[in-house]
Amino acid sequence: MGLRVGVLASGSGSNLQALLDAASSGRLDARIEVVVSDMPDAFSLERARRAGVAAEVVAWGAAPSREAHDDAVVDVLRRHQVDTVALAGYLRLVTPVLLAAFPGRVLNIHPALLPSFPGLHVQAAALEHGVKFSGCTVHFVDEEMDHGPIVIQAVVPVRDDDTPESLAARILREEHRIYPQALQYLAEGRLRIDGRRVVVDPPSPGSGSLHNPAVKF
Ligand code: GRF
4-29 mean pLDDT = 98
Query: Which residue in 77, 74, 73, 12 sits closest to 46, CA to CA?
Result: 12
Contact 97, 82 (CB under 8 A): no
Q: Per residue in 189-202, pLDDT tens?
A: 999 999 999 999 99
CA-to-CA distance for 94 and 86, rounded, in angstroms? 12
Residues sharing a CB contact under 8 Å with residue 40, sequence separation 6 or more, in sequence order: 57, 59
CA dihedral (75, 77, 79, 84) positive or negative: negative
**Across residues 10-33, what is the average pLDDT?**
98
pTM score of the predicted model: 0.97
User: Residue 13: CB within 6 Å of ligand 1?
Assistant: yes
Element housing 166 (H / E) = helix 164-187
Residue type, 56: E
- Provide mean pLDDT across the span 45-59: 98
User: Measuring from atom 3 of ligand 1, which residue has the nearest CA?
Assistant: 89
Q: Is residue 216 part of a domain?
A: no
pLDDT at 119 over 80: yes
Closest residue to atom 6 of ligand 1, CA basis: 89
Give the CATH number of the domain where residue 122 resides: 3.40.50.170
Q: How far apart are the two ends of the chain, measured CA to CA in Å? A: 50
* Residue 214 in domain: no
Is residue 21 a part of any domain in this protein? yes
DSSP assignments along 34-97, one per residue: EEEESSTT-HHHHHHHHTT-EEEE--TTSSSSHHHHHHHHHHHHHHTT-SEEEESS--SPP-HH
3-class secondary-structure state, position 17:
helix
**Region of residue 56 (left: phi > 0; alpha: psi -120 to 50; beta: else):** beta
Q: Which is the closest atom of ligand 1 to the Cα of 172?
A: 2
Q: How confident is the model at residue 159 (pLDDT cuts 50, 70, 90)?
A: very high
Residue range 13-24, pLDDT digits in tens:
999 999 999 999
Q: Which domain covers residue 70, as residue numbers? A: 3-200
Closest C-alpha residue for ligand 1 atom 7? 89
**Tens of pLDDT, residues 169-185:** 999 999 999 999 999 99
The whole-number pLDDT of residue 1 equals: 73
Q: How far, in Å, is the centroid of ligand 1 from the Cα of 214?
A: 30
Alpha-carbon distance of 38 to 3, in angstroms, equals 23
> Catalytic site residue 110?
yes
For residues 69 and 44, the answer to whether their CB atoms sit within 8 Å is no
Answer yes or no: is 71 within a domain: yes
CA 30 to ligand 1 centroid distance, Å: 20
Distance CA 43, CA 49 (A): 10
CB atoms within 10 A of CB 125: 17
Residue 209 domain flag? no
Domain total of the chain: 1
Is the minimum distance from the CB of 148 to ligand 1 under 6 angstroms? no
- Find, among 122, 105, 132, 99, the residue nearest to 172 by Cα: 122
Is there a domain that residue 24 lies in? Answer: yes
Choose, from 69, 80, 110, 139, the residue flagged as catalytic. Answer: 110
Classify residue 151: in a domain, yes or no.
yes
Residue 43 lies in a domain: yes
Ligand 1 midpoint to CA 182 (Å): 16
Does ligand 1 come within 6 angstroms of the Cβ of 11? Answer: yes
Which residue's CA is the closest to the ligand 1 atom numbered 14?
14
